[in-house]
Structure 1
């Protein structure tokens, strides 16, 4: 196995060499060219209901590079319970990322010589915690590890490390934070795109978020493969682009371009695209007149076969746009998938759903539902005022499983 100071090399885990094992406490102030931080009591189980903060400082003129060597926190698709937050600076800095579970992120790079790491735990499930190494690097070093940054010019480009000479390296994380003036939006498009292909983009991927944080509730999309994503338009004046590669296969990478544009443009304006994506997949759908009776019709049985998809899930985001409701549903179970686009991150799956009339059927964030509906060309689910949508209870699973096993 790979060894790293101050741990010695052992045949099992590096922390098994008790005489050389460092003692980690809850937080602290650390500085220097490099060093290690770890959760309280590592490798024992970290304590419940705690919040530990580490302030890292490297020499002036350098940036902080943080690499997780071990990560074992309670797993949750939104990291709501036990998690590690990484911030630029020591106070009120931009959050670089939030992590939990056991999948280590690639190298994380601050935009100054200061970084703040904060670990939070709740009262329940715990794990062994984490160990991470920090080191100082030159801010403009563009080698195999470092990329990303803050982009504030009216237009510009960004690309994966090594582009276009060779493949991007394994085990990197890059975050580009684009900030436009308050009264402008950001238009983003990828000219060339080649990221390790996987049906659910679990290994290498590009994720784009509204705002300046890595936050699943604000994620616009997650992309991989060799087809450039359709052009993206931000909701407000900030976008965050995250690129992550795991420790296995790599590919050519990508180059992307952005530009600022005024807020007040007709909704039907479609940004130019260099790909063969049909314009229907990037134009916001026209809202259908909400004149139908706001009541679901029929029963679970009568709606099952006529629906393109049937899922149960928890609404984790719900945003109103032009009279319709755009929701992200964390899936509990899929009974009929059809052409519904389902994204997977680890063991969690989610899908995008549009209710063409925002109040009908009424769905609320945080609640569980059975949702039956149709699917648009871009893979998003669509529900109408008379679509069959109802609150989900465990007792409903029996009848849904029976429907899943019958032939339509």
Structure 2
């Protein structure tokens, strides 16, 4: 038995190194100076020869290196010919809520029920997810962790991607409530004998009415004596006070128009449209109502045969031209794994009409504004979190984006992941075979 225990110990140690996530970086204790890189501020501006000083987890200096004699401090990183970007932000994400779709025990994105404003997704967030750590090598350092399912899915929170647990990860807890607007159409349920294909949803008006009744009942409850606690209604308090954002997930033109009427009826503030496939058709109305849009995945195909083949590619640009505040989100099939492609979605937006720095804003400063955290992140500005990265090339181009250094709140984080470890392992295998 003693020999078995001795043999098991190295096996367990090896398993730990194979399956555990990289150890989170320690708190910043020494200043870091980055010199010579082209700094993409994230607000549309650039500094071609920049001097950036990070200290105590914050950006303390960012200026043109050629126009200052400011002394360097702490660790100096010579970055001439490279590029510095704010950490990219992935909104409306289920990262950390599901690890393996086929393993039920690792799936925490949905709860039973329809009206669930009291559900908090962040408590189910797995900071040690292998999928989460694979975001960092592409510069995706922050995410909005969002529940799915039901009519009201629950509350999202904003986290950084280098942490021991959800408490360490959270940057803004319970930032907003997510509501799935009813669909105007539905697919025939062939397994119940219905004709296949898309048809009008004859229950649409009833579903909208149910949602409206929930809002009215919650207001009535909060205005009353509250003799018996109702958790879903209690969770609506901050929504009605305007302290919590409302993220409505809707796509069709009629759905969005009805949603605008719903917002007006219930005097709702801080509203964001998520998905918004037909939003470009009523962009002027969205602009007039100050509704920002988190545009659905760029790398997609049109929904209908008579639509432009490149509609998903240029949709963000069409809205941006109309003055709508636009961010990019990545939900859909394989959304957690595909979230690492967020910068390349922005690159596609450039290819289909957008200015390069405008597209960058859609995954940095615009998204930070939409999520209500632009005082902390989204741009390279003095006083904001030192959450940024250095790339050898254009971070929005998959051919040239090679992240060499990344910092979250000034902490020099690891860029290693399960995937980079496998890449090195098999590179060595083939190098050995060719000798």
TM-score normalized by structure 2? 0.27
Higher percent of residues as strand: 1
Q: Which has the higher contact order (CA 8 A, sep 6+)?
A: 2
